[in-house]
Amino acid sequence: MGGKIKIGINGDSSEEVLPSGNVVHEPARVYKEPSMYENLLMTLGSGNDTFANVYRRRQREEEGRSDTEDEDEGSESPIVSGDEDDSEEGPDNESNWDPSTRTDLQEPTQATVLQSDDAESEHEDEPFDTDQEDGIDGNGQRRHSVDISLMSISSFNIHLGHVFKQAEADDLAKQKQKFKWEVPAVDIPMSKWIGTGECFLKDNNESSDCGLKLKLYKHWLDLYNSSGGNDFHSSRQRHFFSLCNSYRDILYCNKRPFYLKGLGEDSSIMDGYIMHALNHEFKTRDLVTKNEAKLAKLRENNKEESLNGEEFLDHGFTRPKVLILLPLASIAFRVIKRLIQLTPLSHKVTVEHMDRFSDEFGTEEVNDNDDKNDLPNNALIKGSSKSQKSSKPSDFQLLFGGNNNDNFMIGIKFTRRSIKLYSDFYSSDIIVASPMGIVKKIEQAEYDKEKDVDYLSSIEVLIIDHADVISMQNWSHVNSVVEKLNHIPSKQHGTDVMRIRQWYLNGHARLYRQTILLSSYLNPDMNSLFNSQCLNYQGKVKLVTEYKGVLPKVLLQVRQIYQRFDSTSLTDADDDRLDYFAKKVFPKIKDSVQGGTMIFISSYFEFVRVRNFLKSQNSSFCLLGEYTKQSDISRARVWFFEGMRKIMLYTERAHFYHRYKIRGIKNLIIYSIPERKEFYPEVINMLEESEDMSCTVLFSRLDQLRLERIVGTKHAKRMTSSEKSIFVFC
């Protein structure tokens, strides 16, 4: 009778009664909400003993119980189907749960790297060169080379190795990061970098290899020197790569694009982000192959207890880690060709499907016939003679002089000695696509349950280049793509769940995704995306620029009258603008018998509202918008020039895709300031044939970003803060 008596009530609590009669209370077992990882194991375990065993073991670890306590309590796992033997050869026995990951250290080229295509040869996924970062000794113990300290503190390892607690992740997702520091931008006039968190730009070691893998660094340096460069460590591409390698979100919205005489700057920034993408992919592959070798050696030495350590968590849900969004196939052609050039020679012995790539993404000549060809809304400009190009501005020719398809998507896979273009998306390392291309895939997956876009679940680096051109297409597509990233996938897709990083399983992947947004200008849509959808825990970096303005590029002696209307809310801004136009501007042109009034409108939605207003006033007007048929455009231009219609409505997007030169303008009303600053002098200079020309520009304090690009930052600040509401430039 000297033993303990255990009393339990409904399983909620228990007591131990000692022979003396004293009662010792044990803590009650508190129900704990299962994590995403546990839910995943539970789901998989319902049809697989291996995952059932893993789930049981995880529960025992959470509750501090030994492997034999389950037998004592006679409990039964709710997920096990079939044999419930909880022997020592449980989930830690590699042969039970994933025999495909076995490797032979004597033949490292047979190591399995991530998820490979079933039909691929046995040599395609051989490990990359690991720059002698670490290895395993003969006893299965880890040994480190001289460079392992550099590897262990690399930004790649630091960024992906951090794990949040749930409460920390929730706080990070809710809080608004504040920009705390600023540093002058190297080689960018009148600009500075501002950032959140700790400032890292001051400590820039120019003698280092920039954090690149050694082979990538040497190849890049050789290309730089062979192209005539003489100071790589002070170059723009090296600085921008260092910025990317910080793994912070980046908003660079003052990039001078290649089609606006910025080829050197554009190419340097492109080199920087391409090298960052390659470095991220190569380091990911190296980490996986080295872990495969370690696991194989540990199994060989029967060190089962070490097989499931956190150091071996190196997978995402799916293979693709980098997504590059671009507006046009011609730009994708330029980026992918450069990506191939920047890949070390040993990794591109063959480039598969290059001919197909050149055919589908290669150059096509621009069509400059305004009156005979109907340009679709997505600017598919094809087939024309070279003689016709001269009438268009040079930037138009450079931007639209190639393949202008805006519906494309291509996967790129790297093996040890080859680059595979058009690889299956689930076996790709990098995906290059247009926003529309991915949106089409998302739409297909919504009505066809056999299809999915789970390959977007593990994107760790998102690059959006030429966002200014994308904004002329449909920015909502970008929002749709970003909202689809880093979701828990709907299927397993052959992933080894025992190797998935913990923060993927916890649903925190979006906090690790780095977003790099590049544009020639900043608009509210880009700002909103950067502020609300970019939640990188490392922080953010943003380029802030002061503008000189483009007023000196107006060649005519025309009075430009800026009229400010009051609007304090973004939701009311459109109503306030139309109301001001209807009451202050339209009465002056309604009663005019002169005609020749062109109203330039930036947004299509504003275009529709003004059109409806003019209809309600029975005004004499014609339309030239992005959705206007070519035959109607030709007719409208003739009517306007001959005075048969007094007013013409012209949109910025129509000008972007067509670059028409409208004749017969005598009075120009800029209803909303153009996003693209180069369009402002272009449109005003169309008044050259008018003897009595005038220009009126409407703006509000909410137009600060556009206004400063036109009149300059200093003038814009004065115009939005002054008590006066009318300003004149000559």
Domain 551-729: state its class.
alpha beta
Mean pLDDT, range 393-408, rounded to an integer: 94
Report the pLDDT value the prediction gives residue 13, as an integer from 0 to 100. Answer: 43
Q: What angle do CA 446, 41, 85 make, to 5 degrees?
A: 140
85 or 357: which carries more pLDDT confidence? 357
Model confidence band, residue 297 (pLDDT cutoffs 50, 70, 90): confident
Q: In the beta sheet, which residues pair with residue 134? A: 144
Could you tell me the pLDDT band of residue 306, with boundaries at 50, 70 and 90? low
**488-528 pLDDT, tens per residue?**
998 888 888 888 999 999 999 999 999 999 999 999 999 99
3-state secondary structure of 473: helix
- State percent of the chain over pLDDT 70: 73
CA distance 367 to 350: 35
Q: Helix, strand, coil: what percent of the chain each, to 5?
A: 40, 15, 45
Please state, in angstroms and rounded to a whole number, the distance separating the CA atoms of residues 299 and 94: 8
Q: How far apart, in whole angstroms, are the C-alpha atoms of residue 333 and residue 343?
A: 16
Supply the pLDDT for residue 187: 82
| Count of Cβ atoms closer than 10 Å to residue 188 Cβ | 18
φ and ψ at 265, to 5 degrees? -65, -45
pLDDT band at residue 59 under the 50/70/90 scheme: low
CA 648 to chain centre: 38
pLDDT at 727: 95
Structure tokens at 264: 């050197």
Estimate to the nearest angstrom the gap between the alpha carbon of 509 and the chain centroid. 14
Residue 55 has a pLDDT of 53
| Mean confidence (pLDDT) of the chain | 80
114 has pLDDT over 80: no
* pLDDT higher than threshold 90 for residue 206: no
Backbone angles phi, psi at 390, to 5 degrees: -65, -25
pLDDT exceeds 60 at position 387: no
Which pLDDT does position 673 carry in this prediction? 97
Selection from 499, 110, 494, 129 nearest residue 293 by Cα: 110
**Quick one: pLDDT band at residue 126, thresholds 50, 70, 90?**
low
Domain boundaries for CATH 3.40.50.300 within the chain: 156-202+211-300+312-364+394-545, 551-729
Average pLDDT over residues 341-353: 95
Convert the pLDDT of each residue in 533-583 to its tens digit. 999 999 999 999 999 999 999 999 899 999 999 998 888 999 999 999 999
77: pLDDT strictly greater than 70? no
Q: pLDDT exceeding 90 applies to what percent of the chain?
A: 58
Closest CA to 574 of 616, 609, 535: 609
Higher pLDDT, 177 or 428: 428
> What average pLDDT does range 306-323 have in this prediction?
86
* 350: nearest Cα among 421, 411, 282: 421
pLDDT in tens, 229-273: 888 988 999 999 999 999 999 999 999 999 999 999 999 999 999
Element housing 728 (H / E): strand 726-729
Tell me the two tokens of residue 294.
């370690």
Compute the average pLDDT of residues 102-127.
39
- Please give the structure tokens belonging to residue 156: 């790649």
Short-list 253, 199, 273, CA closest to 539: 199
* 166 pLDDT tier (thresholds 50, 70, 90): confident
Report pLDDT for 234.
Answer: 87
Q: Please enumerate in sequence order all residues whose Cβ is within 8 A of that of 171, keeping only pairs 6 or more positions apart, or say none.
A: none
Which residues sit opposite 541 in a β-bridge?
195, 250
**Mean pLDDT calculated for residue range 133-142:** 40
Residue 15: per-residue pLDDT: 47
In CATH, 156-202+211-300+312-364+394-545 is 3.40.640.10: no
Q: Is a pLDDT exceeding 60 seen at residue 467?
A: yes
**pLDDT tens digit string along 351-362?**
999 999 999 999
The tokens describing 202, both together, are 């001051």
Does the structure show a pLDDT above 70 at 647?
Answer: yes
Residue 32 has pLDDT above 90, yes or no: no
More confident residue, 364 or 372: 364
Torsion over CA: 127, 131, 134, 138 (sign): positive
Please report the pLDDT score of residue 34 as a whole number: 55
